[in-house]
Structure 1
Amino acid sequence: MHELQGPYHLDPFTPMRQGERLDRMSERDWLDERLSMGVKLGLDNCREILSRMGDPHLEFPSIHVAGTNGKGSLCVKLSAASSSSGNITGLFTSPHLVTVEERIRIDGRPVSPVLFDDLLEMVRQASEESPAISPTYFETTFLVAMLAFSISGVDRAIIETGMGGRLDATRLVDADLCMLTTISMDHSEFLGSTLEEIATEKAAIHRPGIKMIALQQTDPGVIGAIEEIGGEDLLWWPYIQASSNKWESYDPMVEAVSEFLGWKPRDTECVWPGRSPNFGEDWVEGVTTRLSAAHNAESLESDLNEIEVPTVVLFGMSKKADLRKALDPFMAEISMDHIFPKVVFTEPISGRNPAVTVEELSGIMEDYGIGYVPSKVEKDPLKAFEIAGSMARELDADLLVIGSVYLVGDLLKYVVERDELNLWEVLTAH
């Protein structure tokens, strides 16, 4: 187990002292500079920095999860099952909703800013050794997570890939089980222009001799790519949509993993902040509110198909290479005005990529020939949220926030401040 030298606060849940962040702006400024580097796939940088820090990622076994949609939900459920079985469990996911610390959880709770900054400085120093290395923002948070899990003495980690799998930094963890969720078109500018190419990248999290459980796929090319990589280690898992919502669809898979690893999880409530059902349902007085991080064609279609009652939609999305293709199911669904009487377009504030402008969204809507659906545009997502909530209340309808995890994060931060909630409690997953 790694140890920090000096008067550090090793409890990962120690709250930040008043004014402490001001003393540590240099580390955060360095981290923020990583944002300008964008996406850079490859393992060499992280492998070298981890080596300089003593290879903390090899001190605990990990379950490594890849896929286009659902991998975060599966990861948090696995984390809850592991923790409730008595294991100290690290959970690494991305992106974050409000604060970077939530990417790194121990037994469901985000690590404290104090510990995060201590470890961030260790990563910074290691990267600046000669020859200097410049890790990306994602790589930096992954490196911090590996140190956090090592120092906290986790028994196991649950690791969500950032993008793809073969060249994702998380490929370096010591996995004793790999898992694949759905495969669909997303990040094609990095992972390939066909489903088969994307499946090949994601399935490459497989390690020879290590079991890989994959959700059953329908595309023959995807199936062939996964089977070629997984070989005898591959176990197909039938995807059965739960009757109530897809959140529950992974429960049988988690139960199977628990049996495979000898876990005996107790019944425990699992919450995935900003994603799981009922989270945020009371954010608008008198209106049932649902939050969705769906942002690509597959997830948008899936979530919109679950709506059965009149629902006002608040929609915002970050720019992406396949924008029109991603919007196809959204535009098709909202044309059913008996279910979606009104749409409010807005622009997420945060995010790796800039937001699609409300003007562009409105224009695309007209191009699809469904300009008759009443819509309103409001760039400010906080104002748009209030407008959409008022519309839903007047129409006696529900409210759906969808299109971007960053939009959900913007609104979560707003509600926490509005209602004077404890952010760290709100961000606790289980």
Structure 2
Amino acid sequence: MNPHDWLYARTRQGRQRGPAPARALLDTLGSPDLRFQSLRVVGTNGKGSVCAMLEAGLLAAGERVGRFTSPHLTHFEERVRVDGQQITPQQTADFVAWAQMHAPDAAFFDLSLGLAAQTFANSGVRVAVMEAGVGGESDATQALSRVRALLLTNVALDHTATLGHTLAQIARDKAGAALPGVPLLTTAEGEALAVVRAVAQQRGATLYTPVSHPELFELPRPPLLAGGHQTTNARLALAALRLLGYAAGVDAALNASWPARLERFDLQGRTVLLDGAHNPAAAAALALAVPRADVLLFGSLPRKDSAATLAALKDVAPLRLLTHPTPDEPRADLRALAAQEGLGQAGAEVEERPEAALERALALTPPGGTLLVAGSLYLAGTLRPLLAKQEQAKSKG
């Protein structure tokens, strides 16, 4: 079994969740997280974009920076970066060889976190941007030492089987990552913000919001990343940079890029917009950013609330095409979802193979029109190499 397959086989199923097993693994590694400071990023949506902006800003301010994010799009090594460069497959293989001997029962995410922490410590990283997996207090990244700041993007209903079935329960878990004396910055609003404020007070964490500290969250210009939701993400990233003394990196943060977030490709005289929106809240933000397209190509994982996510995009495009997010992870209920959404009444279809679905969706998109691809980061990861290859071939031709 190659190193990546061994890692992917270490699913959470049957293994303990939470920070305790991750802490045990870090201790077995010699506590590498004690050798750098961490900026933890938690929230329902926008974590990856905020991490990308923080990384860009910290680098521009002269720091030696690590970045840990998930999931990856096409290669596992995208998850761990040092000074803007992802690690090599050999580094992954070396770590897996160690884990097979010393931590054979550890879960995939804990192992990924351990690899990141070890890499950052060995590379002389001073500040690491660490994206949470699921939740806050209950997430493996809660095990990290030397947390310098906690950033909470927003709170919406997602991962309800793990975090709770109400907005308040989910907000409590995410805000529960707060630590005494560690700044907590958030752009959450409404009911979620009320919960976050109460938890911050209980934990002794100073809370920073656009209302309480407007000067920190000021946006001098729109970010390079498209969409109103990215404006909110940028405010959060910039507030953290300013608060922590990295104001010199503000401009670079606004210029940060992050693949599969309204990423644009020009193919066959058509515009393709690729986005990883994978839950109802993210889909609603996407619908505001792209109010009109000609065709929607949609694919999501079986464990997700696909119907609600698709419903948030129902008015964006008159034609919708459903597919699987990856060739090897089919949805048994794909056609049932299509029937539920009334697909077929307007010429839309179901195509189980994502590569074939992309070709069909392009054929359905009129010349000069727009194809929107959304529903899962896994779908984005499946199709992005094809889109990039076709666009590159067009430019050479």
Same fold (TM over 0.5): yes
Matched to 1:31, the amino acid is L
What TM-score do you get using the length of structure 1 for normalisation?
0.81
The alpha-carbon distance between structure 1 residues 38 and 187, as it changes in their structure 2 partners (threshold 3 A), is farther
Cα 1:73–1:400 change in 2 (3 A) is same
**Conserved? CA contact 1:216–1:237, under 8 Å:** no
Alignment pair present for 1:305 and 2:285: no
**CA displacement, residues 218-259 of structure 1 (integer Å, 9 cap, x when unaligned):** 22xx23321121115112235999696222333333222222
Q: Tell me the percent identity.
A: 30
Residue 333 (structure 2) pairs with residue 347 (structure 1): no
In the TM superposition, 1:105-116 aligns within 5 A as: 105-116=81-92
> CA distance change for structure 1 residues 44 and 250 in 2, over 3 Å: closer, same or farther?
closer
1:259 equivalenced with 2:242 (yes/no): yes
Q: How far apart are the structure 2 equivalents of 1:39 and 1:194?
A: 25
Maintained 8 Å contact 1:123/1:143: no
Mapping 1:9-158, distance limit 5 Å: 25-35=1-11, 37=13, 40-128=16-104, 134-158=105-129
Equivalent pair of 2:65/2:126 in contact (CA under 8 Å): yes
Alignment of 1:360-399 (within 5 A): 360-366=336-342, 372-394=345-367, 396-399=368-371
SS in 1 for 2:33: helix
CA deviation digits over 1:4-32, x for unaligned, max 9? xxxxxxxxxxxxxxxxxxxxx55334313
SS at match of 2:130: strand
**SS of structure 1 residue aligned to 2:10:** helix
* Structure 1 segments unaligned to the other structure (5+ residues): 1-24, 129-133, 335-339, 422-430
Pair 1:225-2:199 in alignment: no
Task: Kindly provide the amino acid, as one letter, of the partner of residue 252 in structure 1.
Answer: R
| 1:310 CA displacement | 3.8
Q: What value does the CA root-mean-square deviation take over the aligned residues?
A: 2.6
Partner of residue 298, structure 2: 315
Q: Measure how far apart 1:102 and its partner are.
A: 0.5
Q: C-alpha separation between the residues in 2 aligned to 1:211 and 1:385?
A: 44
Cα pair 1:341 1:374 within 8 Å, conserved: no
Q: Closer, same or farther in 2 for the Cα pair 1:53/1:39, shift >3 Å?
A: closer
**Amino acid in the other structure paired with 1:265:** G
Match of 1:183 in 2: 155
Q: Measured at CA, do residues 322 and 309 of structure 1 come closer, stay the same or move farther in structure 2, by a change above 3 Å?
A: closer
TM superposition shift of 1:178: 0.3
Q: Please name the residue that 2:258 is paired with.
A: 272
Residue 199 of structure 1 pairs with residue 175 of structure 2: no
Indicate if the aligned counterparts of 1:119 and 1:148 stay in contact, CA closer than 8 A. no
1:234 paired residue number: 207
Deviation at 1:188, TM superposition (A): 0.3
Q: TM-score normalized by structure 2?
A: 0.87
| 1:328 aligned residue (300, 303, 311) | 311
Residues 199, 226 of structure 1: 8 Å contact kept = yes
Residue 31 of structure 1 aligns to a residue whose secondary structure is helix
Change (3 A) 1:103 1:419: same
Written as runs of structure 1 = structure 2, the 5 A alignment for 1:278-297 is 279-282=263-266, 284-297=267-280
Compared with structure 1, are the counterparts of its residues 350 and 202 closer, same or farther at alpha carbon in structure 2 (3 Å cutoff)?
A: farther
Displacement after TM superposition at 1:266 (Å): 7.0
**Which whole-Å CA distance do the structure 2 matches of 1:95 and 1:236 have between them?**
28
Q: Which residue of 1 aligns with 2:214?
A: none
What is the number of residues matched between the two proteins? 376
One-letter amino acid matched to 1:79: E
The residue that corresponds to 2:376 in the other structure is 404
- Does the CA-based 8 Å contact 2:275-2:377 persist in structure 1? yes
Contact 1:92–1:105 under 8 Å retained in 2: yes
Q: Which runs of 5+ in 2 are unaligned?
A: 212-216
Q: Tell me which moved more, 341-350 or 288-297.
A: 341-350
| Separation of aligned partners in 2, 1:160 and 1:176 | 14
